């Protein structure tokens, strides 16, 4: 899929994943120093589940996000198609 073929939805879904990753990273750092904060643990788990669902839907529609077996590929092999998520 060429960059010209990507629609606005691609960028919106990628942005949502980036926002979830940021929130999860910040919560992870917070929980390293506040491991008994039940509300933060609950929020972390909810966001982790949401991120998993968003990643699944993104990959189903646009292709894999991660390589080396962390994401599945449709046939034919999708890693030869650009742009890759880190290139946009």
* 3-state helix, strand and coil shares in percent for the chain, rounded to the nearest 5: 70, 0, 30
What are the tens digits of pLDDT across the range 32-81? 999 999 999 999 999 999 999 999 999 988 888 877 666 666 676 666 66
pLDDT of residue 62: 87
């Amino acid at each position: 899929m060429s960059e010209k073929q990507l629609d606005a939805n691609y960028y919106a879904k990628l942005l949502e994943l980036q926002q979830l990753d940021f929130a999860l990273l910040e919560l992870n750092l917070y929980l390293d120093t506040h491991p008994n904060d039940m509300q933060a643990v609950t929020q972390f788990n909810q966001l982790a589940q949401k991120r998993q669902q968003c990643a699944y839907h993104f990959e189903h529609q646009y292709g894999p996000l991660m390589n080396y077996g962390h994401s599945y590929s449709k046939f034919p092999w999708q890693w030869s198609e650009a742009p890759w998520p880190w290139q946009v």
